[in-house]
Amino acid sequence: MASDEFDLFVIGAGSGGVRAARMAAAQHGVRVAVADDAPLGGTCVNLGCIPKKLYSVAAHYAESFEESHGFGWSGTAPAFDWEVLKANRAREISRLNAIYARLLVDAGVEVLRGRARVVGPHAVEVDGRLHRARRIVVATGGRPVLPALPGAELAITSNEIFDLPQFPQHLLVVGGGYIACEFASIFRGLGAQVTQLYRGEQVLRGFDDDVRHFLAAEMGKKGVALRTRADVVRLERDAARVRAALADGSSVVADQVLYAVGRTPNTAGLGLQEMGVELSSNGAVIVDKHYRSNVASIHALGDVIDRLHLTPVALAEAMTLVDHLYGSGQREMDYALIATAVFTHPSVGTIGLSEQAARERLGAVRIFRTEFKALKHTLSGSSERTLMKLVVDAANDRVVGLHMVGAEAGETVQGFAVAMKAGATKAMFDATIGIHPTAAEEFVTMREPVMA
């Protein structure tokens, strides 16, 4: 086999692409190449999950210093240094980039640093050099989009937010999804004045309605100025700042405008349309349950297929694909009951169906809901409250939805995800002894439904 011929050629070295390449090479002994012209690790490592969570942690310290007074601590809180946070984050991301490189090389994967383009059902070109492969996997992820409105070039996206030359004293966030809400919380926690505009009726569309309204109220208590049904019609310069003009005639002037209104699959310029690969209206690769496109040799996974934009989902899809191509073929991807977290302040953890979705799908349900002040805040002086909610199928007592807004919600919900995946019923929750005093114990002590 010539040096430029492979069994598997992976385009994109993000979470899904790296996992597919490593598994195929290390566990099944096939010859694999992976190509990417961006830092290894994809969006999650470089411009998504990891830096966002680090900044979220940073943003909690200001309120932690303030809350410590109720526990007997005194003194002046340290000053925040944006440059130090950026530098430390960059150093950690560089470390992770190196780890990804080492994992690929140690697995026997050939890493090609350049932009790849499909030029045939078994051919990929990387910076002018042709590589042949029996199979091709497209794992190029997605990218944030800017709206088509006058002055859109004055806005930034989540790609640029981590490395702003100057910390914005006033940040305007446009959007109501989880990315918009997370960055609104983060920059408010770091000390910026934050205004969030969303043209819908409430943030986090698709989440449980109780979660949406509760989180919006809690974010408001922390100082995020949220305006719903607010539609931006243009952006324009206002001296060194940016003015957002709204459809109702009002405007907001801020140091930076962050647009977080969605992401689109990275398929432009890959040569897929020229190869006859079927794409959806937003450019996502259309695949079957084995992640195969309509061109039999070309597969795709992760955000580029636009199913669930979650790193663990891309990893699971990669393992399913590699098992189908080179293993027993028994592994199946189950998209039901996938837990997720939103790193707002306070955070959200959720798994399963919202109340509305459960009623539409199942009919009769029982709802258990509690709201309380966490023990910590009985002394901290904070007005933050916690919400927990269970959605139960009345026909079989199975817990089909579990939702939380509160401190470390993702950490709490992860364990319950295992129970729900195993088919836990409300009776099993009731029979479980809680850990006291914790917030999590509330999930096993809610006895009376608030509504049927």
Find the CATH number of the domain harbouring 369: 3.30.390.30
Shared domain check, 162 and 199 = yes
Res. 267: pLDDT tops 70: yes
Residue with tokens 């969605």: 262
Shared domain check, 272 and 255 = no
Shared domain check, 89 and 226 = no
Shared domain check, 126 and 11 = yes
Predicted confidence (pLDDT) per residue in 306-330, tens digit: 999 999 999 999 999 999 999 999 9
Predicted confidence (pLDDT) per residue in 168-195, tens digit: 999 999 999 999 999 999 999 999 999 9
CA distance 224 to 396: 41
Token pair of 320 as six digits: 């399913």
Predicted confidence (pLDDT) per residue in 330-353, tens digit: 999 999 999 999 999 999 999 999
Q: Tell whether 332 is covered by a domain.
A: no
Shared domain check, 276 and 186 = no
Cβ burial of 137 (10 Å; 0-12, 13-18, 19+) is buried
- The enclosing domain of 289 has a CATH number of 3.50.50.60
For range 135-153, the mean pLDDT: 97
CA distance 256 to 242: 7
Give the list of residues 6+ apart from residue 4 with CB closer than 8 angstroms, or none. Answer: 129, 130, 131, 132
Shared domain check, 96 and 21 = yes
For residue 452, what pLDDT is reported? Answer: 76
Among residues of the chain, what percentage have pLDDT more than 90? 98
Domain stops at, among 261, 293, 315 = 261
* pLDDT band at residue 2 using 50, 70 and 90 as cut-offs: very low
pTM: 0.96
For residue 211, what pLDDT is reported? Answer: 98
Among residues of the chain, what percentage have pLDDT more than 70? 99
- Vertex 210 angle, CA 208 and 214, to 5°: 125
Shared domain check, 279 and 132 = yes
For residue 389, what pLDDT is reported? Answer: 98
CA distance 338 to 356: 18
Range of the structural domain that residue 226 is part of: 152-261
Shared domain check, 248 and 281 = no
Shared domain check, 398 and 411 = yes
- 383 backbone φψ class: left, alpha, beta (φ>0; ψ -120 to 50): alpha
Q: Tell whether 199 is covered by a domain.
A: yes
Predicted confidence (pLDDT) per residue in 236-262, tens digit: 999 999 999 999 999 999 999 999 999
Q: Tell whether 391 is covered by a domain.
A: yes
Catalytic, out of 69, 213, 403, 436: 436
Shared domain check, 69 and 116 = yes
Q: Tell whether 451 is covered by a domain.
A: no
436 is catalytic: yes
Shared domain check, 285 and 243 = no
Q: What is the mean pLDDT of the chain?
A: 97
Q: Tell whether 333 is covered by a domain.
A: no
Count of the separate structural domains present in the chain: 3
Shared domain check, 135 and 19 = yes
CA distance 160 to 164: 7
Predicted confidence (pLDDT) per residue in 395-406, tens digit: 999 999 999 999
For residue 3, what pLDDT is reported? Answer: 52
